[in-house]
Structure 1
Amino acid sequence: MALTPETLPRHELNGLPVRVVDSDDETRVGLEGRVVIETTNTLSIEIRVDGDSRVVMVPKSGSVFEFAITDDAAGDEKSPGTASKLADTQPDATGDVPFESECAGEDVAYVTVDGSRLLSRPARRTETNGDSPWQ
């Protein structure tokens, strides 16, 4: 099954670029990086700043995430691009907006997903056969 905006909740999220669009904890809004670990209730996001990296756990419940799907992730030569929900965010201290620059291009689709749609064991959510409600 191809990775598209419609099917994103049924796919493996590890490795995808992600940004926290909204959260019950305002300090998490705007965090961006790559998903390194997904559990039933959290996404662990690796954030890189000035060559250093750290991993931040963000609860799925109460958060809204924006994923950047590129051609590499989608496995599609010509997927349509969509505008980022946070395209007008402020640049960092170096003047760059890392999420945008890392994923910029016309072949990038930004998919906004309410974290409550992802509340499930990743292995169960990505099943393609049986009686899975995610199919």
Structure 2
Amino acid sequence: MPLTPETLTRHELVGLDVEVVAASNPDAIGISGSVVMETTQLLTVERDTRVWHVPKDSATFAFDLDGQTVRVEGERLVDRPARRTANAGDSKWR
């Protein structure tokens, strides 16, 4: 399945450029860089030599897909990456 704005939440996020555009913690707004790691609850974003751990459930992210900005509510990303990207079974992400 190709990576498109519609399928973004079902794909691997590591390597994508992202910016935090809204968050319950005002200090997190504006964090941007590349996703270097993802866990159930966190996205790890790195830019230059800085690394941030941003909770998924309390932020809204803007991902850059080939020049197109795709906004995603972090609550839609909360799950183990392997389960979220699953193509079979009763995945709620299908």
**Same fold per TM (> 0.5)?**
yes
Q: What do the CA deviations read for 1:86-135 (whole angstroms, capped 9, x no partner)?
A: xxxxxxxxxxxxxxxxxxxxxx1110000000000000000111221111
Q: Could you tell me how far apart the structure 2 residues matched to 1:110 and 1:54 are?
A: 23
1:22 aligns with 2:42: no
Residue 60 of structure 2, aligned match among 64, 70, 73: 64
- SS of match in other structure, 1:4: coil
Q: Which runs of 5+ in 1 are unaligned?
A: 71-107
Q: Distance in 1 between matches of 2:47 and 2:25?
A: 17
Larger Rg: 1
Counterpart secondary structure, 2:57: coil
TM-score, with length taken from structure 1: 0.68
Deviation at 1:17, TM superposition (A): 0.2
Is 2:33 the partner of 1:33?
yes
TM-score by length of 2: 0.97
**Is 1:131 equivalent to 2:90 in the alignment?**
yes
- Amino acid aligned to 2:76: R
- The one-letter code of the counterpart of 1:128 is N
Structure 2 stretches lacking a partner, 5+ long: none
Identity over aligned pairs, percent? 50
Question: Which amino acid letter does the alignment assign opposite residue 118 of structure 1?
Answer: L
* CA RMSD of superposed structures (Å): 0.7
Mapped to 2, the partners of 1:47 and 1:24 lie a distance apart of: 21
Runs of 4+ displaced beyond 3 Å:
none
Q: Distance in 2 between matches of 1:11 and 1:42?
A: 16
User: Number of matched residues?
Assistant: 94
The corresponding residue for 1:101 is none
Q: Which of the two has greater strand per residue?
A: 2
